[in-house]
């Protein structure tokens, strides 16, 4: 039970990597606040955890809204007494070049992928600092470290998350707060299926092409969740300011 007695707040926790991580955190002993805009799926994850004997609450939250993020932090603290782990995972993608991306699409991607990290961290860090420390894990991407085709806003947003992670690690390390990023490669989630639809590609063929990496397959949400668990637990107690690539070797060469 790597997280026994800990409290974790997971944004984008209703599906994909967020859901897999919320379930894993709960199985490792954490009380989990599932933060998402999708009430139906979020409440289903809450029930799955509580039916298994764990502790969880669902909090509806637009992670681009300051009041919503502040409320999510306050409700988590009210329910569980604090926040030890913040997993800033909420994200979206728009597959388009700069020319083909509208200003509204650009703003939306940057708001969900970057502003949300800023807002949730802004309100959670004082709680962690008052308690003597904590851990923040941000979901970046392999495309936050290298460029990708027809994904300008997404690449820009995830690169921002990588460097924001480093800046936060420097600022808040003295408060006992570790801050790291996980950089997944293509993972079998609704977002990956959305990419295929945006590009007008058959999903099966798109997934096959995404598997073109040394391990010869795409990842599962559970595999990314295990990497997040490592960064969130004391197993990584001397790790901060890093971007952990979990991509089946996609960036290896």
pLDDT, one tens digit per residue, over 28-68 is 999 999 999 999 999 999 999 999 999 999 999 999 999 99
Beta strands in 104-221 (DSSP E): 134-139, 177-184
Homologous superfamily of 7-184+221-244 in CATH?
Answer: NAD(P)-binding Rossmann-like Domain (3.40.50.720)
Indicate the pLDDT class of residue 78, thresholds 50, 70 and 90.
very high
For position 161, what pLDDT does the model report?
Answer: 98
Enter the tokens of residue 139: 């979901």
User: 3-state DSSP call for residue 99?
Assistant: coil
Q: Provide the annotated active-site residues.
A: 154
pLDDT at 24 over 90: yes
Nearest 5°: phi and psi at 28?
-95, 10
Percentage, residues of the chain above pLDDT 90: 100
Q: Where are the domains of the chain?
A: 7-184+221-244, 187-218
Kindly state the tokens that stand for 61.
């939250």
Instruction: State how far Cα 178 lies from the chain centre.
Output: 15
Check pLDDT > 90 for residue 101.
Answer: yes
pLDDT at 90: 98
Residue 2 has pLDDT above 90, yes or no: yes
CA distance 65 to 139: 19
At residue 253, the pLDDT reads 84
Which residues are bridge partners to 235 per DSSP? none
| pTM of the predicted model as reported, rounded to 2 decimal places | 0.97
Please write the tens of the pLDDT for every residue from 137-181.
999 999 999 999 999 999 999 999 999 999 999 999 999 999 999
Average pLDDT over residues 217-246: 98
Rounded Cα distance, 34 and 55, in Å: 11
Note the pLDDT of residue 12: 98
Give 88's strand partners: 138
By the 8 A CB rule, do 183 and 144 touch?
yes
Quick: pLDDT tens for 184-221.
999 999 999 999 999 999 999 999 999 999 999 999 99
């Amino acid at each position: 039970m790597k997280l026994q007695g800990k409290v974790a707040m997971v944004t984008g926790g209703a599906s994909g990597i967020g859901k897999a991580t919320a379930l894993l955190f709960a199985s490792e002993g954490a009380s989990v606040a599932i933060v998402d805009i999708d009430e139906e799926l979020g409440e289903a994850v809450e029930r799955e955890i509580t039916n298994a004997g764990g502790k969880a609450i669902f909090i509806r939250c637009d992670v681009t809204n300051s009041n919503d993020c502040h409320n999510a932090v306050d409700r988590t603290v009210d329910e569980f007494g604090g926040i030890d782990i913040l997993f800033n995972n909420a994200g979206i993608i728009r597959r388009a070049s700069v020319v083909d991306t509208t200003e509204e699409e650009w703003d939306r991607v940057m708001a969900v992928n970057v502003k949300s990290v800023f807002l949730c961290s802004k309100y959670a860090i004082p709680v962690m600092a008052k308690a003597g420390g904590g851990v923040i894990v941000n979901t970046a991407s392999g495309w936050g470290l290298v460029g990708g085709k027809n994904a300008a806003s997404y690449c820009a947003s995830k690169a921002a998350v990588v460097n924001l992670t480093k800046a936060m690690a420097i600022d808040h390390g003295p408060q006992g707060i570790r801050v790291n990023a996980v950089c997944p490669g293509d993972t079998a989630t609704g977002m990956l299926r959305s990419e295929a639809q945006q590009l007008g590609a058959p999903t099966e063929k798109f997934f096959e092409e995404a598997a073109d990496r040394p391990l010869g397959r795409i990842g599962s949400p559970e595999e990314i969740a295990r990497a997040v668990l490592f960064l969130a637990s004391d197993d990584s107690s001397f790790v901060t300011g890093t971007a952990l690539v979990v991509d089946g070797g996609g960036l290896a060469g």
